Structure 1
Amino acid sequence: MNDVLTLLRNHRSFRKYKKGVEIPEEKLDAIIRAAQAAPSWINGQHYSIIAIKDQERKNKMAELCGNQPYIAECSVFLCFVADFHRVKVASDMHGKSFQIAGEEDLLMVAATDIGLCMQNALTAAESLDYGTICIGGLRRNITATAEFLNLPEFVMPVVGLCIGVPDVEAPVKPRLPKEAVYFEETYQTDVMPLLEAYDQEIIPFSEREGFASYTERLAKFYDRPYYPNLTEQIKERGFLGGK
């Protein structure tokens, strides 16, 4: 394997960081420029990245994201937001109405662009020997977080990324068997035996996180809406026909 493949397959999520460590500006700039190099729909780059470095603001972000301490501990917390404010400005510049603002596809476009962008940022950070962890809790309190970040209409928080120097080593977590996620020509539905095998392989990690198995965790997680008021908060941002 080459160095890129080795780096990608060695990814781990770190939940403990050395406090008070600053990332040099040139390294953070390199991470952001790598993130910007990701592909995007029509080259629209439907995202923005907001870096939170101030300790008090990181503390507040940790609270807004569900009291996740690693947000407060890390060197910088990157907030990836779906951004159609620039599209609205471009529409105004050329006398167009931006009527598509209420379409569900905007969220799929933004989520795809953000996912690619954040993965580039994560890989760049890890190539510089920093640890990372992705934070889906950024959308736990969309309205309050949008106010905290001063987001205009058509801009919405989606996911965050902690970057810092790890304080505790983390093992590489096994992934599902390739046969469970990769198919040729058509989808294959007979995955139960593969899930059962994976349950056994990942037992040490499941027990550490308080679950008997991988499948039990999935079943409990998706048993009810995780963010019950999400649709209303998305509409407040101008999406899904809101405002």
Structure 2
Amino acid sequence: MDETLKLLMNHRSVREYDSNKNVSEEQVDTIVKAAMSAPNWINGQQVTVIEVRDNERKSTLAKAAGNQKYIEEAPVFLVFCIDFYRAKLAAEKHGKDLRVVEDMESILVGSTDVGIALGSAVVAAESMSLGTVPIGGIRRNSNTFVELLELPEYVFPVAGLLIGYPRTIPAQKPRLPQQATHMKERYDVQKQKEAIPKYDDTFASYMYERTNGKDASDWSTKVANFYEHGFEAYEKSTSPTLKKQGFRYK
């Protein structure tokens, strides 16, 4: 199998980092360059990455992201932002209105571009034997990130990415069977309904082994619980902060 494919299919989320090994600026520059080389909508380049290494700043952001201590422990914390501020400057230069921020399209475009860039950054980092884990928890208290990182209007923090040398590498988490995620010609509801119970069994077994019998919960239970109440912090933070940053979608 091609080495790139092996890298992609062997991804693990790393949350424990070797404190004796640092990540060089050259490595981070290369990772960000790879991220910015990814495809983006209309070549608008609607993504900015902010590198955070300062321990005090990481500590504050770790608390804001839901007390995720590994943000403090990783040597590098990258914050991936939707960025239409550059588009605003382009619009002002040519006397145009930045109408896109009045529509949900701006959030779809920006979030998609962030996701593509972040995925490329993960692959670039892992090609250097670095560990990574994306951090969606930054949206729990997104205004803290806006203020601490001094984000101007039309810039919003979507996701973080921790980078460092792994202290431990976890077992690979099983994914849904491909019949649930790869469909041909049309969406097959029946295949989806058949796949989930089987995957629940696989996932519960994985959790049982990973936690030495302390947790045997399945995938659908975790997802159902989170989308009923677990996302409430995001619900209270994301939309108000987006509006505060100038995204005026209805």
TM-score normalised to structure 1 length: 0.95
1:11-160 mapped onto 2 (5 Å cutoff): 11-19=11-19, 21-160=21-160
Matched, 1:223 2:224: no
Counterpart of 2:193?
192
1:211–1:217 contact (8 Å) kept in structure 2: no
Give, in whole Å, the separation in 2 of the partners of 1:164 and 1:214. 28
Give, in whole Å, the separation in 2 of the partners of 1:103 and 1:20. 47
Structure 1 residues 241 and 179 mapped into 2: Cα distance closer, same or farther (>3 Å)? Answer: closer
User: How far apart are residue 76 of structure 1 and its match?
Assistant: 0.2
Counterpart of 1:214?
219
Give, in whole Å, the separation in 2 of the partners of 1:58 and 1:151. 16
**Stretch moving more, 44-53 or 138-147:** 138-147
User: How far apart are residue 27 of structure 1 and its match?
Assistant: 1.3
Counterpart of 1:203?
204
Give, in whole Å, the separation in 2 of the partners of 1:205 and 1:87. 46
Give, in whole Å, the separation in 2 of the partners of 1:241 and 1:203. 40
Matched residue type, 2:197: E
1:131–1:166 contact (8 Å) kept in structure 2: yes
Give, in whole Å, the separation in 1 of the partners of 2:248 and 2:226. 25
**Stretch moving more, 173-182 or 226-235:** 226-235
2:12–2:169 contact (8 Å) kept in structure 1: no
1:102-144 deviation line (CA, Å, top 9, x unaligned): 1101000001100000001010000000000000011111212
Give the number of the structure whose residues are more often helix, by fraction. 2
Give, in whole Å, the separation in 2 of the partners of 1:137 and 1:20. 26
2:240 to 219, 225, 232: 232
Give, in whole Å, the separation in 2 of the partners of 1:204 and 1:58. 35
Structure 1 residue matching 2:82: 3-state secondary structure: strand
Structure 1 residues 239 and 192 mapped into 2: Cα distance closer, same or farther (>3 Å)? Answer: same
User: How far apart are residue 100 of structure 1 and its match?
Assistant: 2.3
**Stretch moving more, 215-224 or 150-159:** 215-224
1:160-200 deviation line (CA, Å, top 9, x unaligned): 00000111221111111000011110001112221111111
Give, in whole Å, the separation in 1 of the partners of 2:95 and 2:216. 55
Matched residue type, 1:233: T
Return 5+ residue gaps in structure 2 as ranges.
none
Structure 1 residue matching 2:151: 3-state secondary structure: coil
User: How far apart are residue 241 of structure 1 and its match?
Assistant: 4.2
1:20–1:75 contact (8 Å) kept in structure 2: no
Structure 2 residue matching 1:13: 3-state secondary structure: coil
What fraction of aligned residue pairs are identical, expressed as a percent? 39
Give, in whole Å, the separation in 2 of the partners of 1:144 and 1:37. 29
Give, in whole Å, the separation in 1 of the partners of 2:45 and 2:135. 21
Matched residue type, 2:246: G
2:31–2:124 contact (8 Å) kept in structure 1: yes
Give, in whole Å, the separation in 2 of the partners of 1:56 and 1:161. 18
Give 4+ residue runs of structure 1 displaced > 6 Å after superposition: none
